[in-house]
């Protein structure tokens, strides 16, 4: 049986310091039936030149150059040019283990599921810590999967796109794209849309992705209380609709609404439980009274 083609989509923006490490980790994959789509988002450093050099070296690499429009539009363009049966996403400041694509594909083929979700490493100053949420290798229907998500909706494990393998046919059939109106947590909205049209999910209880958390990064600077609450208000309707579609909302209303006070421990946002909880509640009360 022919191995399915996997499109690995990498948005690139001013990543000259980390891009070589990222692309090399993709080229060294045990699973070789891949196309690697490097989408340069108007970088002002040497990123595009590095991409072009790799394109000359390996016929699997396709480089797309575009003006700077943000990561959501960049991923959308990558998906529009992808021809693989499955989509995998890697950020240009991160890297993946040598078996990452192989174990994702093996898992999706053996389970015939719609999404595979894996553990990952968070890397800070060269030190790594293993992160995840679903503790076992499980195959789940939609109700079971989102019941797990309900317990920790802010975890990067559920929110990001880079620890998952997606079916291209589901994305194309339902025209699922990254929302360009959001410049933060657009990954989570993409996942909510994808989950809505999926029926089965498989967890992979090994870390395969190295997520580099950079101090004073743009994401970290955006993590103000006001921005977090504003983002959650925008996302909550889609989050709520997912549970309503599976008839889980009414019986779990209180737990689901904890989405507003959940915070991403694995992303290291820096909020302690008490501080974050109290300030979220006060913010929502002011908003309601106003």
Q: pLDDT tens digits for 158-201? A: 999 999 999 999 999 999 999 888 666 789 999 999 999 999 99
Residue of 141, 227, 146, 152 whose CA lies nearest to 184: 227
Q: How far is CA 269 from CA 59, 85, 187, 220, 276, in A?
A: 39, 35, 17, 7, 10
Residue-wise pLDDT tens digits, 200-248 = 999 999 999 999 987 544 455 455 556 666 677 778 888 888 999 888 8
Q: How far is CA 216 from CA 43, 268, 270, 273, in A?
A: 19, 12, 12, 21
Residue 280 φ then ψ, to 5° = -65, -45
Alpha helices, H only, 198-272: 218-222, 225-245, 253-256
Please, what's the b/e burial string for 103-132 (b: 16 or more CB within 10 A of its CB; e: otherwise)? bbbebbeebebbbbbbbbbbbeeeeeeebb
Average pLDDT, the chain: 87
Give the tokens for residue 9: 């989509």
Q: Given a cut of 50, is residue 268 above it in pLDDT?
A: no
Residue-wise pLDDT tens digits, 48-81 = 999 999 999 999 999 999 999 999 999 999 999 9
Cα R_g (the chain), whole angstroms:
19
34: enclosing H helix or E strand: strand 34-41
What CA–CA distance (Å, rounded) separates 217 from 127?
A: 17
């Amino acid at each position: 049986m022919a191995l399915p083609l996997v499109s690995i989509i990498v948005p690139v923006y001013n990543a000259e310091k980390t891009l070589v490490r990222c692309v090399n980790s993709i080229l060294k994959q045990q699973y070789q039936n891949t196309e690697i789509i490097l989408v340069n988002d108007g970088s002002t450093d040497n990123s595009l030149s590095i991409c072009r050099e790799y394109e000359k070296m390996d016929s699997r690499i396709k480089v797309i150059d575009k003006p700077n429009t943000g990561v959501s539009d960049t991923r959308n363009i990558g998906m529009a040019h992808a021809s693989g049966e499955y989509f995998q996403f890697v950020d240009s400041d991160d890297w993946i283990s040598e078996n990452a694509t192989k174990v994702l594909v093996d898992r999706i083929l053996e389970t015939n599921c719609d999404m595979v979700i894996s553990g990952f490493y968070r890397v800070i100053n060269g030190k790594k810590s293993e992160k995840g949420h679903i503790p076992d290798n499980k195959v789940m229907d939609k109700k079971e999967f989102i019941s797990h998500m309900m317990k920790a909706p802010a975890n990067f494990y559920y929110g990001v796109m880079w620890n998952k393998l997606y079916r291209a046919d589901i994305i194309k059939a339902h025209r699922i794209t990254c929302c360009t109106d959001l410049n933060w947590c657009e990954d989570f909205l993409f996942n909510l849309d994808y989950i809505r049209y999926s029926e089965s999910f498989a967890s992979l209880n090994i870390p395969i992705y190295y997520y580099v958390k950079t101090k004073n990064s743009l994401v970290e600077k955006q993590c103000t209380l006001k921005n977090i609450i504003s983002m959650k208000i925008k996302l909550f309707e889609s989050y709520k609709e997912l549970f309503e579609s599976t008839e889980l909302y009414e019986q779990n209303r209180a737990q689901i609404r904890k989405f507003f006070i959940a915070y991403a421990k694995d992303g290291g946002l820096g909020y302690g439980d008490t501080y974050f909880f109290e300030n979220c509640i006060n913010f929502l009360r002011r908003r309601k009274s106003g």
